[in-house]
Amino acid sequence: MILSQFDHQQTAIINPGDVIQALPDFPKTAVTCFARGTFARILAEFPHREIAKTSVANLEIPIYELKFQGQKIAFFNSYIGASGCVAILEDIIAMGAENILVFGTCGVLDSNIKETSIIIPTSAIRDEGTSYHYAPSASEIALNHTYRKQFKQFLDA
């Protein structure tokens, strides 16, 4: 484990809501990906409009609204790296998002998993420092399984 201490207090000295305004009608669900090609394909596939912007030190991030099966979704391209990615996520939450789906790509060490397979994780190994600011210390963290079954059914359809 990188850190063995955790402060359970939810309010920090500086909070995203101190500098980011909540936006009326901001979608409750936000979806983000890391691959710019995938991001561009989704924007090409769905009608969308820019609803906000956020930024990290060296990059401005446009946030789009698109509709999927009648539901408004905020959609944006994530920054690579835990600190930059989380800074953007904190802004998105301050704007009004309550549910966030992050998807990306990965390598595998198991030769039984075919290239381009879709993997729905059940947990993650914590090998960076950022997540230790948001959850108690542990070398592994379980994922939220609330929608796992529905997501699997969607992919199997």
| Amino acid found at 49 | R
Q: 117, exposed or middle or buried, with CB in 10 Å at 0-12, 13-18, 19+?
A: exposed
* pLDDT per position as a tens digit, 16-37: 888 899 999 999 999 999 988 9
* pTM, to two decimals: 0.79
* pLDDT per position as a tens digit, 39-88: 999 999 999 999 999 998 888 999 999 998 899 999 999 988 888 888 99
State the average pLDDT for the chain.
Answer: 86
In this prediction, residue 1 carries a pLDDT of 55
Higher pLDDT pick, 146 / 24: 24
